Amino acid sequence: MGIDPVCAIFDATLMSGDGQQVKQQTGCYVDASIVIQGVLVGLILAVPVGPLSLMCIRRTLSEGRLHGILSGIGVTAADAVYALVAFLGLTAISGLIISHVLFLRAFAGLVLIAVGLRIIFFLPDGESEKTGQESYTRDFLSMLTLAIASPMTLLFLMVTLPGYGLVFGGTSLFAAGEFVAGFVLGSAAWWVILCGAVGSLRSRISPNMLVLINRISGLLIVCVGAVMISEPLLILAGLF
């Protein structure tokens, strides 16, 4: 494989005072530190167990590993969009999202309550793992929609990224791509590990135990949805 002559030329300029800056502007080299930071932020967002994690775990137990993993990848895709917006400092987009945060929280809360109630009253039929492109696509898109409707991810990233030394505004698209690639890698790796581990327990869980898991996880999801709805209502009523 030959050496890119453009990269070689700029590599030779590193002895000059502004060589590093020119090298960064060309985008010829991958900055491993940005990729690693993306991986760490992706893991920080994915690892905590919340309502979306519970839904992925439940799908893994009731339908199989791949359903859970694809559901988690849907969350990762939504979070990656927010990570890109935050990293590039797209104030117009982030401002629009934040200005509608109450509506989005209320919408997400209603969806979570509906999903939680469906999970509570879901009875496993003991059939084998569901398959089919349509089923997998539904898993991905349903979690993507729920995660997109949770702008708290954007707020978290806008507070967290400066702490990692990442500066908003004026950031190159190449650097943003590096960060988002690392972010997706870290988040997706967690969902593969989590759903893979949970899936290994699937054969050991009886239908009665699965019903109990469904009811507990569904109740927790309903509670989270109720909390998400209550805050916008209290603000609109002037009580919060």
Q: Does any domain span residue 17?
A: no
CA of residue 154 relative to chain centroid, distance: 10
Instruction: Using alpha carbons, list the distances in angstroms from residue 191 to 49, 107, 152, 157.
Output: 11, 25, 20, 20
pLDDT for position 130: 54
The pTM of the full predicted model, rounded to 2 decimals, is 0.70
Q: Which of 39, 151, 69 is nearest to 106 (CA)?
A: 151
The C-alpha atoms of residue 178 and residue 183 are separated, in whole angstroms, by: 9
Q: Does residue 76 contact residue 184 with C-beta atoms inside 8 Å? A: yes
Residue 170 inside a domain? The answer is yes
Q: State the total domains in the chain.
A: 1
* Selection from 111, 119, 89 nearest residue 217 by Cα: 119
Q: Does some domain include residue 124?
A: yes
pLDDT at 169: 44
As separate numbers, helices (DSSP H) first and strands (DSSP E) second, the chain gives 11, 0
- Averaged over successive runs of 10 residues, the pLDDT of the chain (240 residues) comes to 38 38 48 83 83 88 90 93 78 68 79 85 58 79 87 72 52 78 93 91 81 86 85 72
Residues ≥6 apart with Cβ < 8 Å to 156: 45
Q: Which two tokens stand for residue 200?
A: 């290994």
- 21 located within any domain: no
pLDDT the model gives residue 13: 34
Q: What pLDDT is recorded for position 168?
A: 46
Residue 27 domain-assigned (yes or no) = no
What is the per-residue pLDDT for 15?
36
pLDDT (0 to 100) of residue 27: 45
Q: pLDDT value at position 165?
A: 52
State the pLDDT at residue 19: 38
Asked, for residue 118, whether it belongs to a domain, the answer is: yes
pLDDT of the residue at 206: 78
**How much is the pLDDT for 88?**
75
Comparing C-alpha atoms, which of 72, 73, 74, 94 is closest to residue 83? 94
Q: What is the DSSP string of 2-56?
A: PPPHHHHHHHHGGGSTTHHHHHHHHT-S--HHHHHHHHHHHHHHHSS--HHHHHH
Domain that holds residue 117: 32-236
What is the DSSP code (8-state) at residue 164? G
Residue 26 lies in a domain: no
